[in-house]
A and B are shown apart, each in its own frame.
Chain A
Amino acid sequence: MNIEKIRRDFPFLKRKMIYFDNAASSQKPRQVVEAMREFYYEHYANVHRGIHTLSEEATSMYEKSRETVAGFIGAKPNELVFTKNSTEGINLVAYSWALNNLKPEDEIVVSILEHHANIVPWQFACKKTGAKLVYLDINSEGVVPEKEYEKINRKTKLVSLTHVSNVLGTILPVEEVAKIAHENNALFLVDGSQSAPHMPVDVKKINCDFFVFTGHKMLGPTGIGGLYIKEGLAENLPPFLYGGDMIKDVQLYESFFANPPQKFESGTPQIAEAIGLAEAVKYLQGLGMEDVREHEKRLVSYAIKKLSSLRHVEFYGTKNIEMRAGVIPFNVQGFSATDVAMFLDENAIAVRTGLHCAHPLHRRLGLKSTARASFYIYNTEKEIDYFAGVLEKLKR
């Protein structure tokens, strides 16, 4: 991967800033913005309606984008529903599947590592149905011990796990979990918000039933994400939102719905955003996801090495790079995480601070808050050197 060439594609870098907040959202290459601009200026119309040239062009571009994005995660186009983001994907499964299938004796298994997006919808579904929410715990390194997976049993109807922790960067063994879930006749949802942007993902290899991801974390625009529903499952799920564009026929008191994925895409969809996301996917495919992962492994190893040499900096998560994505949460002695983030900001470094939408995980770790550095394709070892140098100044 030629990082200098990549960096030339990201106009924000002209501001001479170091962007280490990629787990929150990534920056956009000019190719993505250009693809959206071209669509709006030259091909724009609504999709799936009208036989006129522009509408047909827009429909082709939208559906071609579905093919590209589905291919990126190893899915067939008809298995990919375009959503607003991962949160909407999980809510779709909660409303459509969970509310209609869970009974009071049933259990949903999540882990303590989850982002609120993979906790709160299940709390809601459990309250509505009387089902129970069960948490897999972690060890001191932020890894789920093998024994915890024994909590998946015959009562379990759904296992819903993050692929990669947005706080600690822990990579979960999703292929093994799929086997355990299916042996117990449970469905398996993977929250790929932090994996799809950073490593090769193949939903068929994982053998999950649902996979959610969000475009804005993977070079794409905001307002677009994806929900993979394994073929055969979607037919029996009722729609999530009702209205136009998801219809075969509407009579006065009854309607007949389109086949999936259209059944789940009510109203005018995010056409330009889907086109932008497909362009982002092509950009990543051009780099090769194996190489993206290798680059981030190098960066996180280097950052761990640098931070280890700073006695006043404490960082969290496993040091086993094979099990860790490019995310490092940390604290500096004598300062709150917010202070640290403000100081870094004054030195042109962007990190996230707070609880990273993972309050239960922070409570479990006994941490009031953390600052978090997270890396992507345009980050360099040189930036990490500068980052460590700035942190050095916070020694009291």
Chain B
Amino acid sequence: MSTFDELLKIAEKPKHFGKIDNATKEGMALECGEAVKVFLKIEGEKIKEAKFYGTESMLSKAAGELLMENIEGKKVEEVKKMEKEDMLKLITFELTPSKEALALLTFNALKEALK
């Protein structure tokens, strides 16, 4: 399967794409032509619900979906410790520099939300 088809599969119906009303935390990130906002509902120490919204490209959408899925249910402190490399590990296909920037968009928005 080509990267494009792989992305299409994940990005077509992302479960975590959308907004959360009364989110505990919100964060935003911009990259030339793309903007993403992350919404988090935090209960106690844990991230109960995570959503992202705004991006256009399948690559950032797919990366956002994989990240939101990964952090839901995790402890806030644990997610705060996530590094760029941890995010990139969630992506199974090869990332060139521009693709990496898109793949990190939601991650950067998440970092903003947890600042």
A→B interface (CB under 8 Å): 335-339, 342-343, 346, 353-355, 368-369
Is the beta-carbon distance between A346 and B56 smaller than 8 angstroms?
A: no
Residues of B within 8 A of A346 (CB): 2-4
Select one of B3, B32, B56 contacting A336, CB under 8 A: B56
Residues of A within 8 A of B97 (CB): none
Is the beta-carbon distance between B4 and A342 smaller than 8 angstroms?
A: yes
| Sample of 30 A–B contacts (CB below 8 Å) | A335-B58, A336-B56, A336-B57, A337-B33, A337-B56, A337-B57, A338-B33, A338-B34, A338-B56, A338-B57, A338-B59, A338-B60, A339-B4, A339-B7, A339-B59, A342-B3, A342-B4, A342-B7, A342-B57, A342-B58, A342-B59, A342-B99, A346-B2, A346-B4, A354-B32, A354-B33, A355-B32, A355-B33, A368-B56, A369-B34
Complex Cα distance, B33 from A283, in Å, reads 36
Complex Cα distance, B33 from A355, in Å, reads 6
Known: A338-B58, A355-B32. 16 other contacts (CB 8 A): A335-B58, A336-B56, A337-B33, A338-B56, A338-B59, A338-B102, A339-B4, A342-B3, A342-B58, A342-B99, A354-B32, A355-B33, A368-B33, A369-B33, A369-B34, A369-B56
Residues of B within 8 A of A369 (CB): 33-34, 56
Residues of A within 8 A of B59 (CB): 338-339, 342
Is the beta-carbon distance between B2 and A336 smaller than 8 angstroms?
A: no
Is the beta-carbon distance between B4 and A336 smaller than 8 angstroms?
A: no
Residues of B within 8 A of A353 (CB): 33
Is the beta-carbon distance between A339 and B57 smaller than 8 angstroms?
A: yes
Q: Which of A343, A353, A368 has the most CB of B within 10 A?
A: A343
Residues of A within 8 A of B99 (CB): 342
Complex Cα distance, B72 from A84, in Å, reads 49
Residues of B within 8 A of A343 (CB): 4
Q: Which residue of chain B has its CB nearest to the CB of A354?
A: B33
Residues of B within 8 A of A342 (CB): 3-4, 7, 57-59, 99
Complex Cα distance, B55 from A339, in Å, reads 12
Q: Which residue of chain A has its CB nearest to the CB of B11?
A: A339
Q: Which of B56, B60, B99 has the most CB of A within 10 A?
A: B56
Residues of A within 8 A of B2 (CB): 346
Q: Which 10 pairs, one residue from A and one from B, show the smallest C-beta to C-beta distance?
A: A338-B57, A336-B56, A369-B33, A354-B33, A336-B57, A339-B58, A355-B33, A343-B4, A354-B32, A346-B2
Complex Cα distance, B3 from A338, in Å, reads 13
Complex Cα distance, B102 from A4, in Å, reads 38
Residues of A within 8 A of B32 (CB): 354-355
Residues of B within 8 A of A354 (CB): 32-33
Smallest CB separation, A347 vs chain B (Å): 9
Residues of B within 8 A of A355 (CB): 32-33
Smallest CB separation, B55 vs chain A (Å): 8
Complex Cα distance, B4 from A207, in Å, reads 50
Q: Which residue of chain A has its CB nearest to the CB of B31?
A: A354
Residues of B within 8 A of A336 (CB): 56-58
Complex Cα distance, B2 from A342, in Å, reads 11
Complex Cα distance, B56 from A353, in Å, reads 12
Q: Which residue of chain B has its CB nearest to the CB of A338?
A: B57
Residues of A within 8 A of B4 (CB): 339, 342-343, 346
Smallest CB separation, A237 vs chain B (Å): 34
Smallest CB separation, B44 vs chain A (Å): 37
Complex Cα distance, B58 from A22, in Å, reads 25
